Amino acid sequence: MTLELTGEQVAGRIAQIVPGARVEAVGLSCYVHPDDLVAVATAARDDPELRFQMLTNLTAVDYLTHFEVIYHCVSLAKNHLGLFKVRVYDRDNAVVPSVTSVWWGAHLQEREVYDLMGIRFEGHPDLRRLFLWEGFAGHPLRKDFLGISGATRHAGLPHFPKQEQGYGVLNGPRWSAEPQPLPPDPFAPGAPF
Amino acid sequence: MIGLSEWYDLRDLGNPVHALLQWIDGWGDGSTFHWVAYIVSGLIGAAAIGLFLGVIMLFLIWLERRAVARIQIRRGPNRLGPYGLLQPLADALKLMQKEAIAPRLGDRVVYTLAPLVIFIPTLLVFAVLPFGNKMQVANINVAVLYIVAVGSATPLVVFMAGWSSSNKYALLGSMRAVAMAISYEIPMVLALLAMVLWTGHMDLNGIVHWQQEHHVWLLFLQPLALLIYFISASAELNRTPTDIAEAESEIVAGYHIEYSGMKFGLFYAVEMANALAVSALIATLFLGGWWLYGLDRWVPGYLIFLAKTLLVYNLLILTRGTLPRLRIDQLLAFAWKYLLPLALVNIVVVALEVLLWQQNGLAQEVFFPVCVVVNVALSVALIVGYSRAFDRRKIMAPRRARLVQDPLAYMPQ
Amino acid sequence: MTIRTEPFVVNIGPQHPSTHGVFRMRCVLDGETVVDADMVVGYLHRSLEKLAEERTYTQNIPFTDRMDYLSAMSGNLGYVMAVEKLAGIRVPERAQYLRVIMAELQRIANHSMAIGTFINDCGAWQTPLMWMFAEREKILDLFEMTCGARLTCNYMRIGGVAFDIPDEFIPAINSFLADFPRKIDEYEKMLLENEILIARAKGNGVITKEMAINASITGPMLRSTGVPYDIRKVDPYAVYDRFDFAIPVGENGDSYDRFLVRLAELRESHKILVQAVRDLPGGPYKVDVPLAIRPPVGEAYARVESPKGELGFYLVSDGGAAPYRFHVRSPSLINLSLLREMIVGHSVADAIVAFGSIDIVLGEVDR
């Protein structure tokens, strides 16, 4: 059975191998400060005890006040699984260092998180949208996108009111203040292909 | 051929034609209307080939779809008409009523010309095939050379089609087709040359007569040449396993990707007609054409010829239905490094044998069986030995996956 | 005089017979060699992850059918396992065995299609595909017998399975299993020694062990490089630890090895199925779970070995009837991480064969 390492085990080992890393254990997850993420990830990948060879899952959750980027890491040799989380508090300009230099498998998943959540990954070789087209306004998986999946149902948490007008995708509500630039029209004459 | 030479003796279709032409000649005072007879004979020949090709192509489409379906454990078309026989007609009608879309940036003239021009070499090849004894539209005494020359116009038309489509897939497909056609011409010509060396004739009727005189099919005397010719010709035809030029699953129909409607129908039909022409050539050269050990006294020669042609065509369908396709560089390597040396060795051996036979006046009954045995043994030895020299067995050895019971013991640390 | 050549850009897809769906690869070609390749996905993006936040946990099960629509049972299984992990529900024995039976049948069906379409991409005009589809039809008939649908089964439920198997299921599956090894032998005889297949697929799209592990590749693609990582063995779920089966492993990490691994997995699935049908216990097939289950606040990540790789579901619950976050770790998307490395430097024909050997389903890539 794959052992799911507790946060204390992972954080304790990280504290040993990366002195000065800001890590905090909560339950099964180990919260890492964004600036220490790459160092911690590299150390966790190469450490003979933790040996997190594979990054299984990279995703993000929108907790209204902050984002959390989730990293599920698996060790094939030791057969255990660890969970790293990074918190980002700035909604307008969410930036997290990219772990593509540590695990190449992160590059497509980080593009997906950027596309759907709007979190930029610094150091990613080619950060573009994956599923939606360039010029799409907004990031759909955010809880305040167009007011749907509205936080109105989540009692006790701050919520965002539904927008009354402007439901169009290209001119609807979005987080960033200025509109995204549109790419050149692919069907205009003289287009490359 | 025994029997009557009356115009209603349809065992030789030339009889009614000959009677008609003689009747035309007899108009007037017997010397002024020769040119009418000449023109009429030409027209009859052209119309015959056209009609024959038209009818047989419908049949071939049906045959191909049913045969390939049977190989794939399913039935073919069986809804339209009994056993689906009207399916090709429905296909033709469907193609005729489609919108003819042409690419805006392409070369319009060349684009429209290509499917028309591609039909011409096929028709010309059929003109010299002997359907029966002396039953060919044009009696050229360098027929083999003529066939090779006319057939090598096809890559040019393929390139016309690919270039004028202004589509990168089409260009890719047509480049591949041209490269392959040029490469496979040479082994094909060398294989045909072996036949010419043996029989001393270049005209196809003469070759069949030679086989009749010596009571032997050239297939037995020259198995290697048959193999080389079969492979090279099917490569020229762009049929699987060598249909890389129009590989459907890669470049989506290659050089005829931008054609729709009847223009595409013409490309499709020409592919079948070319395959039929190659089958007919193999039947004539290697299998004895319209002659079948004396059966042609009772059964009309053209029926025997058609039966043999369809037999070889079924072989082409079989290879199409069962084999995956090779990559272009593998195909070109095969032609240049493998088929060409084999064809050259074959030519040398044939020349030696013919020399021995002619110079020493050996008896045919003794020499030919010896030749058969020697040639078959030599073919097998060449093919196997050459493969060994290329280390094919080691490279191509199949394997199975390793089964692991306890994964954690074998994980990379 | 040197002839100036310039590379040109070709789109493979989105409408293409071989891209297994709407997938677009922009390749920069220099003659026949691919110099650069860039993939464009999102043509099938249905925002299932966002839609799932509006529906109850049980209403989300049909979404998991439609993501990887060629192995719907595995998708269902992973999702209900994640919800059960969140809510702490224990599934009865009979349901576990039925889940295993359905998952393994789905694996056989999927691999039949994967191998068939792979050889179709190699050029063999659907002949092996049609042969394998005959077996797949029998499996789809079994599915239809049980849950009413052939493709999008919606069979697993939170706490068990939706329906118990009907009476004609056991004889039908026994007759299928009795006949299947002979069919696999037929496929092996037809395909294993086919020289053209070997010539096309060997050395094509090679990935090494280290590359694969670093790029999060899982499934038959990882096993073809020599890493015997199969979640059914290393992290057994749903009574897989009671069955005796092996994991096929390749050596070189090329397309031929991926094909071999999938072919061998057919046999292993057959072994599991024989044991599961033989040991199927009686008892309830579902526990009683409320229609709109409200799991306690928390998160869970559950993974299954789907025929394409590791299919994981990450669920975050806020105590409500709908999930707060529903994320699918999709094996098809992540197995595409190495596409560029596999393709660049080889010809277009090789690119198509390598792409076909990854075995992706666009519904899962785009979600």
**Residue B6: predicted pLDDT:** 67
State how far Cα C175 lies from the chain centre. 25
pLDDT at B280: 92
What is the radius of gyration, based on Cα positions, of chain C? 21
Q: What number of residues does chain B have?
A: 413
Q: Does A108 touch chain C (CB under 8 A)?
A: yes
Domains of chain A, CATH where assigned: 3-153 (3.30.460.80)
At C112 the pLDDT is: 92
Q: How far apart are CA B386 and CA C366, in angstroms?
A: 50
Q: What is the pLDDT of residues B45-54, one digit of tens each?
A: 889 888 999 8
Is the model's pLDDT at C248 over the cut of 90? Answer: yes
In a domain, C184, yes or no: yes
Q: Note the pLDDT tens digit of each residue in B61-106.
A: 999 999 989 988 888 888 888 888 899 999 889 999 998 888 888 7
Residue C123 lies in a domain: yes
Q: Which residue of chain B comes nearest to C189, CA vs CA?
A: B398
- Mean pLDDT, residues C21-28: 86
For residue C113, the model assigns a pLDDT of: 92
- Number of other residues whose CB lies within 10 A of the CB of residue A143: 21
Is the CB of residue C26 less than 8 Å away from at least one CB of chain B? no
Chain A: residue whose CA lies nearest to B166: A193
Asked whether the CA dihedral A48, A53, A56, A57 is positive or negative, the reply is positive
Question: With an 8 Å Cβ cutoff, are A108 and C334 in contact?
Answer: yes
Could you tell me which of A104, A53, A106 has the C-alpha nearest to residue A81? A53
Q: pLDDT tens, C187-237?
A: 888 888 788 888 888 888 899 999 999 999 999 999 999 999 999 999 899
Q: What percent of chain C has pLDDT over 70?
A: 99
pLDDT range class, residue B32, cuts 50, 70, 90: low
In a domain, C2, yes or no: no
The distance of A19 to chain C (nearest Cα, Å) reads 25
Instruction: Write down the pLDDT at residue C136.
Output: 92
Q: Which of A2, A46, A54, A102 to mutate to test the interface with C (most CBs of C within 10 A)?
A: A54
- Tell me what pLDDT residue B136 has: 81
What is the structure's pLDDT at A152? Answer: 38
CATH number assigned to the domain comprising residue C42: 1.10.645.10
| Minimal Cβ distance to A56: which of C216, C316, C333 | C216
The minimal CB distance from A56 to the residues C54, C236, C312 is found for: C312
Q: Which residue has the higher pLDDT, B168 or C80?
A: C80
Residue C247 lies in a domain: yes
Q: Does residue A168 surpass a pLDDT of 60?
A: no
pLDDT in tens, B202-256: 888 888 888 888 888 888 888 899 999 999 988 888 776 777 666 655 556 677 7
pLDDT band at A158 (very low <50, low <70, confident <90, very high): very low
**Which residues of B fall below an 8 Å CB-CB distance to A?**
408, 411-413
Per-residue pLDDT, A175: 39
Domain boundaries, chain B: 98-388
Q: Which of C49, C234, C337 sits opposite A107 (nearest CB)?
A: C337
pLDDT in tens, C96-138: 999 999 999 999 999 999 999 898 888 777 888 888 899 999 9
Per-residue pLDDT band for C276 (boundaries 50, 70, 90) equals very high
CB contacts of C124 in chain B (<8 Å) are: 240, 322-325
Interfacial B residues in 216-275 facing C (CB < 8 Å): 240-241, 243-244, 247-252
Question: In chain A, which among 14-43 make CB contacts under 8 A with chain C?
Answer: none
Q: How many contacts does A have with B, using Cβ atoms within 8 A?
A: 9
Q: Which of C9, C192, C347 sits opposite B329 (nearest CB)?
A: C347
> Average pLDDT in the B395-404 region?
79
Are the Cβ atoms of C312 and A57 closer than 8 angstroms?
Answer: yes
In the stretch 257-286 of chain C, residues with CB closer than 8 A to chain B read: 257, 260-261, 263-264, 268
Of A175, A98, A179, A177, the C-alpha closest to A134 is: A179
The two beta strands, C24-30 and C160-161, are unpaired
pLDDT of residue C322: 84
Contact yes or no for A79 and B412 at CB 8 A = no
Q: How confident is the model at residue A182 (pLDDT cuts 50, 70, 90)?
A: low
- Let me know: does C64 contact C264? Beta carbons within 8 Å: no
- Angle (nearest 5°) at CA A50 between A45 and A54: 45
How close, in Å, is residue C44 to chain A by CA atoms? 8
How many residues make up chain C in this entry? 367
The pLDDT of residue A160 is 38
Percent of chain A at pLDDT > 70 equals 75
Which residue of B68, B167, B402 to mutate against C (max C Cβ within 10 Å)?
B402
* Alpha carbons B139 and B155: distance in angstroms, whole number: 26
CB contacts, 8 Å: C235 with chain B: none
Q: Rounded to the nearest 5 degrees, what angle is found at the Cα of C172, between the Cα atoms of C170 and C178? A: 100
| Local confidence band at A153 (pLDDT 50, 70, 90 cut-offs) | very low
State the best of C117, C194, C196, C222 to mutate against chain B, taking most chain B CBs within 10 Å: C196
What pLDDT does C19 receive? 61
Amino acid C200: pLDDT? 85
Q: Which residues contact A97 (CB under 8 A, 6 or more apart)?
A: A34, A35, A37, A38, A121, A122, A123
- Percentages of chain C per state (helix, strand, coil), in multiples of 5: 50, 15, 35
A73 — contact with chain C (CB < 8 Å)?
A: no
- Structurally, chain C folds into a number of domains equal to 1
* pLDDT value at C257 more than 70: yes
- Using a CB-CB distance cutoff of 8 angstroms, which residues of chain A are in contact with residue B411? 76-77, 79
Give chains near A: 3+ CB pairs under 8 A: B, C
According to the model, what pLDDT value does residue B139 have?
A: 83
When pLDDT is averaged across residues A162-174 and rounded to a whole number, the result is 38
As a whole number, the mean pLDDT across chain C is 89
* Ramachandran region, residue B100 (left: φ > 0; alpha: ψ -120 to 50; beta: rest): beta
Alpha-carbon distance C308 to nearest alpha carbon in chain A (angstroms): 14
Q: Which of B243-257, B259-273, C274-288 has the least mean pLDDT?
A: B243-257
Q: Which residues of B touch A77 (CB under 8 A)?
A: 411-413
> Chain A: nearest CA to C209, how far in angstroms?
11
User: What pLDDT is stored for residue C110 in this prediction?
Assistant: 94
Report yes or no: B168 at the C interface, CB cutoff 8 Å: yes
Band the pLDDT of A163: cuts 50, 70, 90.
Answer: very low
Instruction: Please give the C-alpha separations between residue C206 and each of B407, C12, C34, C39, C250, in angstroms, as whole numbers.
Output: 22, 21, 15, 19, 12
Question: If pLDDT is split at 50, 70 and 90, which confidence band does C326 have?
Answer: very high
Per-residue pLDDT reduced to its tens digit, C133-181: 999 999 999 999 999 989 998 999 998 999 999 999 999 999 999 999 9
Q: What is the pLDDT of residue A151?
A: 41
pLDDT higher than 50, residue A166: no
